Structure 1
């Protein structure tokens, strides 16, 4: 297993930047960039093998199964490849029976709009408002009843770094017979997800953040008992059982989650495989401890120096701090080579396994220095 410093050596950008902007997108890992460059060269000089590229999404299912602790023999059965979280959510939305859908009002739009669109089809969509800026577990539980067919939630929400209590929500949805849809885009790759405790009916993840993949590689993981109800959003030549053909009918769905496979954008998947293999060289629980500690240290440093006001939230690898002078903060971060995101008066930073205590210190010092005339 790779140590944090060994992992860090795979990212040349870290020689120039303190990279705390992974909630938006990470820098490229060497293996990912090399795979993409090799593919581009083979394409440029007419030496490409499209069949090899076309196999990459299939191979990615096995890697994702290993990351999640799912038996590799179930990878092809339970995992569909897609282009985005929104596509995964829209696929599930189009597969639901009539009933109520419960979703936090401040959810990321890719995990909100696909459910809101169901209102036109007669579904009742219940938006649970935040209290004190955060979506409360008890409010989500209170919104559930026996009419509820699905609760949709992000494991971690990047607006404030709040981490959902997924085991509690699983227990609550079990109590009313509702499905649980989890968007793990802002957590998987940095935080450990206990699939046995959470048992999501559906897990969606777009790999271009903490999983280090190119944008366009996403997965929908479905519980075995929910596969039969899946209706493909985009039926295509990949939606049938192998061997795949190109022309004519009939249309017979695959009897696995592969019925929802998207026809792949090849280069996204060529880059996804080395990213997944790099993550598989890490100890997931060690990665989580590392990332949580760095985020906690950053919050503590900022609170102690009063350089900003850390937003209260359940602890995650994403920290959000209110600042009084965003323009000064933006200038100081750029001067000190710190990459992060300012959202109005909120500074958002995220810590991956490639970050270290020096990154915490430089970012906190930059924030403190922004107050100095």
Structure 2
């Protein structure tokens, strides 16, 4: 193939989409052929007694290189993790002691909430900020002051799809000398934060959402890697990579916090990062935001009300009056989406199209 990949070419890599409208990537996407093929090849070799341990082992560090290139950050700034909670807990255990206040939204995803709440036992003040009617960005900005050590925020929260204005939060933390922790799990792969402007002190991403990876492959990106204290020091976090005996000499860069990789997760992640890196990033973002806006407008015209305020994203949540009936209609239209109590949540990736929006709106309208 020559030139940037088009949405229909990308869509053809997902066999599940031949019979379903997949709007549930905020939970997890269907498997992409390059990813499932890599996993199938590895599993077949394992079954045949031809397990390629060295090849599987090399997948994680290879993915570090690919992920760093995808973001445009130094490879030395990338640590290999198993989850966002592990990334947040690593940072929480390594914060400089000068200040003791952490600012975080009270409705944050728990992987980016509980590691900070646990710091209360160590004398930290954890300020849980309620979301005001004008949105999370404004709420967080109002809570930042000269005592703030760190602000922890998700770029996009799947509870309602609000997109935080990271540039404004960065400006506020800069003004008081605080650090910024960003969870980009629900945005990276579709949205591209301006890292040159935002300059997050810590960026955590679990790849099993919009990055199309298997669950268990995550990254922590930070220029403060020399401060990090590994939660699980092992042979993977050492400089010499030896197996037995000796003294603990941490590896250079963020690799000092690497954990022993779950082989198959990283075999799949290597293929997924290559795939996502081949997409035209600006086109992907525009495509997905346009689909989300089209659905949002159609849902409101059908009588559903949008949930959340602030800047919208590729994830849309609307309040509905007949959740049980809507669930039945979604199933009959073969639409994969989340209905939770009186809310419908949908999310749009580059493989989605206008037909998907139309089918979902027909199901919503009943």
* TM-score for both structures, normalised by structure 2: 0.97
1:363 aligns with 2:327: no
Q: Which runs of 5+ in 2 are unaligned?
A: none
Quick check: 2:80–2:258 contact (8 Å CA) kept in 1? Answer: yes
Question: 1-side partners of 2:231 and 2:149: how far apart?
Answer: 19
Task: Indicate the residue corresponding to 2:293 in structure 1.
Answer: 296
Quick check: 1:317–1:351 contact (8 Å CA) kept in 2? Answer: yes
Quick check: 1:68–1:193 contact (8 Å CA) kept in 2? Answer: no
Q: Give a deviation string over 1:218-245, Cα, whole Å, max 9, x none.
A: 000002xx1221111111111111x310
Quick check: 1:129–1:135 contact (8 Å CA) kept in 2? Answer: no
Question: 2-side partners of 1:166 and 1:65: how far apart?
Answer: 20
Question: 1-side partners of 2:246 and 2:148: how far apart?
Answer: 37
1:193 aligns with 2:193: yes
Look up the SS of the partner of 1:163 in the other structure.
Answer: coil
Question: 1-side partners of 2:308 and 2:243: how far apart?
Answer: 54
Q: Give a deviation string over 1:77-125, Cα, whole Å, max 9, x none.
A: 1100010000000000000133111000000000000000000011110
The residue correspondences of 1:1-373 to structure 2 (distance < 5 A) are 1-70=4-73, 74-75=74-75, 77-98=76-97, 99-132=100-133, 135-223=135-223, 226-241=224-239, 243-306=240-303, 308-313=304-309, 314-369=311-366
Question: 2-side partners of 1:202 and 1:190: how far apart?
Answer: 19
Question: 2-side partners of 1:57 and 1:273: how far apart?
Answer: 7
Question: 1-side partners of 2:365 and 2:306: how far apart?
Answer: 13
Question: 2-side partners of 1:281 and 1:51: how far apart?
Answer: 26
Moved runs in structure 1, 4+ residues, more than 3 A? none
Question: 2-side partners of 1:139 and 1:328: how far apart?
Answer: 35
Q: Give a deviation string over 1:288-328, Cα, whole Å, max 9, x none.
A: 0000000000011111222x112243210000010111100
Q: Give a deviation string over 1:229-269, Cα, whole Å, max 9, x none.
A: 1111111111111x310001201112310000010000000
Question: 1-side partners of 2:52 and 2:136: how far apart?
Answer: 50
Question: 2-side partners of 1:107 and 1:266: how far apart?
Answer: 30
Quick check: 2:161–2:308 contact (8 Å CA) kept in 1? Answer: no
Q: Give a deviation string over 1:7-32, Cα, whole Å, max 9, x none.
A: 00000000011000000000000111
Look up the SS of the partner of 2:247 in the other structure.
Answer: coil
Q: Which runs of 5+ in 1 are unaligned?
A: none
Q: CA RMSD in A?
A: 1.0
Question: 2-side partners of 1:333 and 1:52: how far apart?
Answer: 42
Q: Give a deviation string over 1:43-91, Cα, whole Å, max 9, x none.
A: 1111111111011110111111122122xxx21x110001000000000
Quick check: 1:128–1:135 contact (8 Å CA) kept in 2? Answer: no
* TM-score for both structures, normalised by structure 1: 0.95
